Amino acid sequence: MTHEVVNQPPPLEGYDMFSQDRALAAALDREGAGWARSQVAEVGALAGGVALGWGVQANASPPVLRTHDRFGNRIDEVEFHPAWHMLMEAAVTRGLHALPWRAPREGAHVARAALFFVLSQAEAGFGCPISMTYSAVPALRHQPDVAAEWEPRLTSLEYDPRMVPAAQKRGALSGMAMTEKQGGSDVRANTTRAIPVNGGGPGGEYLVTGHKWFCSAPMCDMFLVLAKTDRGLSCFLLPRWTPDGVRNRFHLQRLKDKLGNRSNASSEVEFDGAWARMIGEEGRGVTTIIEMVNHTRLDCVIGSSSAMRHAVAQATHHAAHRAAFGRRLSEQPLMQNVLADLAVESEAATVAMMRLARAYDEGRQDQAQRTFARLATAVVKYWVCKRAPAVVGEALECLGGSGYVEESLLPRLYREAPLMSIWEGSGNVMCLDVLRAMGRSPEAVDAFFDEIALARGGDARLDRFVTDLRTELADFSNLEVRARRLVERLALAFQGSLLVRHAADAVADVFCGSRLTGDYGLALGTLPPGGDFASIAEAARPQIG
């Protein structure tokens, strides 16, 4: 009897991660993608079922670099566990990399966001090549002739991992290589050079030589890279194979030994006269590739929101089944405070993510939504990605020692959580980007506050917060020093507006009473008394069995 197992929760598996997420399901309808409900539910069931096992397997056997074959020939390939390929196939066949480009209908970006959100809860590592491929398309459209060749490959619903020329494949994937060791986010410090062949120019051929400190998803078929020409930093499409069927001079130096995201390969890469084609205008590489960066920043928001949701699901599930000191954890007031706080933070991230995705849909035809998305993406990316590590860490603590054990999945989630805040612009970079956007496009600020104003009169605390924020923005002294504070408050106003309009009264009340009034501690679980904590936590808990 010494091994009788009691007072342990059942495994949180075999459930639909979409249908059990009330905030996500409501946002899918509200933001214009109700037509995708059955598709998202199917992926939700996959993510809460067999895909959880794929995630475990892919992390237990991380990718391996094969620079040469057994005969000494340079091959520069990455070998993955079959579970990784299962995750990739699940994503590609369901259009997570291409849905808005294949079917640019109302709510297409929203539907894709929801699909990406639920599948990422099973394992986040597959998301990099999926996000890169999704984001490459709008950048390639700066060069229509090149886009005509590559877009059909990048939007195919067939996953083809073979290392052969893209023209021979059923579908292709894109990676990206911008940063270098001497510059990092300061890409204008890059030293990689591109020499024209046969005249060069937009769409023309170049030979690229240099070293990239981070190359995302090196197993892909093509990469968008930045390199300097005589006219400045320019954008290039660099494929793994040249048009005549020879392996391009794209050499993988090593795979990065990363804190998290370990199922995915990130690498250092050397270009030794690698063949490439220019995308967009010469000398305007940052302007061209920013189309890709904006979409990947949206995916950073999705990834962080997904991590928070999975963490909340694990914490609320555990607390509902685990007893201590004579009561279930979920019945104890202090734990209810923690769980409610986690749930509110997760829901605020989810509604912001889905509204942001709608701006990408509507921005196709609405200039105001394009300018709104430009500012809102930077604001929300900063704040939601900053909150993820704190939320995941607190959720892990709800499980106590069990949460610190790999089998709980939370350690993997915890290692993953900081990534989105670093990738595609760390916190300081995002805040400076917000200041630039506000300075260059005052209409973006107007569009942002027009969105917030839709909740005017819904909660006096929100109205006062927005009024004070307007006053703070009118003060131009020490803007850079104050940038994080300003961006945080912009994000809170945006989230507060969405929750006041769309969330349950209990959720909106707790959010406004803590985040907007100053009646809040420095740690999660410090909500002021009076909120309906038990109902908030219970609404966030997935129901299984």
CATH (domain of 183): 2.40.110.20
458 is a domain residue: yes
Taking the C-alpha atoms of residue 253 and residue 29, their distance in angstroms, rounded to an integer, is 46
Taking residues 248-263, report their average pLDDT.
96
Q: Which domain holds residue 515?
A: 427-521
**CA distance readout (Å), 502 to 311, 424, 454:** 23, 30, 11
Contact 419, 260 (CB under 8 A): yes
Which tens digit of pLDDT belongs to each residue from 282-307? 999 999 998 889 999 999 999 999 99
Contact 243, 168 (CB under 8 A): no
Q: What are phi and psi of 228, to 5 degrees?
A: -90, 140
Q: What is the pLDDT of residue 140?
A: 97
β-pairing verdict for 250-255 and 266-279: antiparallel
Structural tokens at position 510: 């707790």
**408 SS3 class:** helix
The better pLDDT of the pair 424, 387 is held by 387
| Mean pLDDT computed over every residue of the chain | 96
Q: What is the pLDDT of residue 187?
A: 82
Residue 545 in this model has a pLDDT that exceeds 80: no
350 is a domain residue: no
455 is a domain residue: yes
Taking the C-alpha atoms of residue 19 and residue 307, their distance in angstroms, rounded to an integer, is 17
439 is a domain residue: yes
Q: What are the start-end ranges of the H helices in 322-404?
A: 333-362, 367-398
Residue 364 in this model has a pLDDT that exceeds 70: yes
Residue 317 in this model has a pLDDT that exceeds 70: yes
Q: What is the pLDDT of residue 184?
A: 76
Structural tokens at position 197: 């062949």
Taking residues 26-35, report their average pLDDT.
98
Q: What is the pLDDT of residue 182?
A: 84
Q: Which of 308, 290, 251, 219 is nearest to 540 (CA)?
A: 308
Q: What is the pLDDT of residue 186?
A: 82
Residue that is written with structure tokens 């699901």 in the block: 313
136 is a domain residue: no
Which tens digit of pLDDT belongs to each residue from 166-192? 999 999 999 999 889 887 778 888 899
Taking residues 467-491, report their average pLDDT.
96
Q: What is the pLDDT of residue 533?
A: 97
**165 SS3 class:** coil
Question: Lowest mean pLDDT: which of 160-164, 266-270, 422-426?
Answer: 422-426
Taking residues 422-440, report their average pLDDT.
94
Taking residues 302-324, report their average pLDDT.
98
Among 266, 284, 302, residue at a domain's last position: 284
Specify the number of domains making up the chain: 2
Q: What is the pLDDT of residue 291?
A: 85
pTM (predicted TM-score):
0.97
Q: What is the pLDDT of residue 523?
A: 96
Residue 513 in this model has a pLDDT that exceeds 70: yes
Which tens digit of pLDDT belongs to each residue from 397-407? 999 999 999 99
24 is a domain residue: no
Among 237, 267, 284, residue at a domain's last position: 284
Contact 377, 363 (CB under 8 A): no
Among 231, 258, 284, residue at a domain's last position: 284
399 is a domain residue: no
Count CB-CB contacts under 10 A for residue 184: 14
338 is a domain residue: no
